[in-house]
Amino acid sequence: MGGVLVALLAICVLTGNAVAAKTVSAVERSNAAVAAKIKELKLRSTNVLVVGQIDKRVLYAKNVEQVVPIASITKLMTALIVIENGLPLEERIVITKEDFDKVRRTPSRLAAGTSITRGDLLKLTLMASENRAAAALARAYPGGTPAFVAAMNHKALELGLSETRFVDGTGLSNENVSTARDLAWLVEAAYRQPLIREYTTYRSHTIEVNNGRKMQFANSNQMVRHPHWEIGLSKTGYLDAAGRCLVLQAKIATQPVIIVLLDSWGRLTRIGDANRIKRWIESHSSRQPAG
């Protein structure tokens, strides 16, 4: 009997070792695949995530868990709060000095006293990344800016964005932080809102202010004007601490994907990285067997 028990024990140990070896082997293969992708696709952005929107399959990942400043990518959450709370888009809001950026003194064409609808403020926030527009949206929220920021952070928790924190609605503070992984899910949530899809992909937009004067604004992402891109949502961001950032939803080789690019330092680096990703996905798609 003792010999049988010893034999059984030996079999269990061998089986366990085989399972463990198989698990380690699978992990090693996965790590090798990721390393191969990173080697094959050389990107200059520090934090990158490319994920299939339908199957949620990660196509490329680089430093996706690092918590970093996100600059004006913040404005996607600003738009979500305005839209999901059903605030009237036709209501006119007057720009005040409270909406001015007193820290970085970023310029704006919206002077104090300008009367503009909430809907146009939302368009300028998303399309042109207009900071005074975003600040006015937060200030005009029931309860003011503090209540707006609280709503932003509550929504982040609701979406499961555990590493995301907001302190303003503009993204001008370095304390607005997130990860590439969290931002992919923020893009997914924002994409479900038709107005966000529409407003972030305008090439340009003309607004009429209180005195009847017309003002035209252009999209901060030049890619929406490129015919070879099929973009469904787009948002740019920039701060010294954040580098140049870009998130977008696009259809590439018939596949809808979400791309997050953070901390790109060259002026055109984020655009270059997005184009490299596009070509990379297209080239791999062309290698897939038919049927």
Which tokens sit at 152? Answer: 């932003």
State the catalytic residue, choosing from 45, 108, 129, 264: 129
| Angle, CA of 193, 195 and 200, to the nearest 5° | 105
Bridge partners, residue 258, by sequence:
51, 249
The answer to whether residue 72 is catalytic is: yes
CA quadruple 44, 224, 161, 261: dihedral, nearest 10? 0
Beta strands in the chain (DSSP E): 47-52, 58-62, 68-69, 92-94, 115-117, 177-178, 204-208, 214-218, 231-239, 243-252, 255-264
Calpha distance 82→122 (Å, rounded): 8
Strands 115-117 and 92-94: antiparallel
The answer to whether residue 30 is catalytic is: no
State the catalytic residue, choosing from 72, 108, 178, 220: 72
State the catalytic residue, choosing from 75, 123, 155, 235: 75
- Whose tokens are 């290698």? That residue is 287
The answer to whether residue 235 is catalytic is: no
Active site residues: 72, 75, 129
